[in-house]
Amino acid sequence: MPSVDDPASVRYARMRWNTPLSAEHADLLLQRLDIPAGGSVLDLGCGWGELLLRAVTGSGATIGVGVDTDQSALARGRRAALDRGAAQVSFVRQAAATWRRPADRVLCLGSAHALGGTAAGLATLAELVEPGGRLLFGDGFWERTPSPEAVKIFGADVLSLPDLVELVRATGWRVLHLSTADQREWDDFESTWRAGRQEWLLAHPDDPRAEGVRDELDTRLREYVTVYRGLLGLGYFVLGR
């Protein structure tokens, strides 16, 4: 865990990755992605690139590139690559929408917004997967008709799962695999999102920043259990074309 004196630096410290996904579910997705030894893997909006690192080191891919705009996430990814001797994985600070170099396998999990949204992202990603390649795409969807409060938080562009599947097909992709995050993956995601700063709060109750951190964590937990728990879904697609 980074410096426990700074609540900002521990924000993501307890998260394996920044998406509701168990390690077992991730293994299944990477298996379905079928990454060829000697191939290349690109992760757009990679965060700290934990899934990218597992994808590359577990497959014998020889090139892995993670692209994100968050400096501290990229620094965490570079440290992890160094620790694991994964010199074939590099991290680039760049807006995902400006990336042009294709790869054999592309990951884009929870980051379609960085490509202009779901529809624009699916179209852009088609240009970035080499012919015969595959895309692992993770995106939110409504499990049922959303409340106005939920739309206010997540925006009007979130689709139902059937509509998301139709959009994927209409953009020219074939669905090789589809699975969704279950309730425990969501609960763990939300809990680990809060945990870094929750632990900081318990250790620093009188810090001048404590009130602001407490408010943010309480608001998020309240919104989760009252507005979007069981309503917002996350779909994982392995796609080919």
CB closer to ligand SAM, 177 vs 204: 177
H or E element: which one contains 93? Answer: strand 89-93
Residue among 73 and 128 whose Cβ is closer to ligand SAM: 73
Residue of 110, 97, 89 whose CA lies nearest to 41:
89
Decide the pairing of beta strands 159-160 and 89-93.
unpaired
Interacting residues with ligand SAM between 84 and 103 (CB under 6 A): 95-96
Stretch that binds ligand SAM, among 25-33, 108-116, 170-178, 193-201 (CB under 6 A): 108-116
| Residue 9 in tokens | 């630096």
Among 20, 45, 146, 196, binds ligand SAM (CB under 6 A): 45
**Total of residues contacting ligand SAM (CB under 6 A):** 17
Piece of the chain touching ligand SAM by CB under 6 A; list 29-37, 83-91, 107-115, 212-220: 107-115
How many CB atoms are closer than 10 A to CB 162? 9
Residue identified by tokens 């990951």 is 107
User: Angle at Cα 113 formed by Cα 109 and Cα 116, nearest 5°?
Assistant: 130
Could you tell me the smallest distance in angstroms from the CB atom of residue 96 to ligand SAM?
Answer: 4
Site residues (CB under 6 A) for ligand SAM, limited to 61-80: 67-70, 73
Tokens of 207: 């810090």
Query: Using the rule CB under 6 A, is 8 a contact of ligand SAM?
Result: no
Residue 30 structure tokens: 């990477």
| Binding residues for ligand SAM (CB under 6 A) | 17-19, 45-47, 67-70, 73, 95-96, 109-111, 114
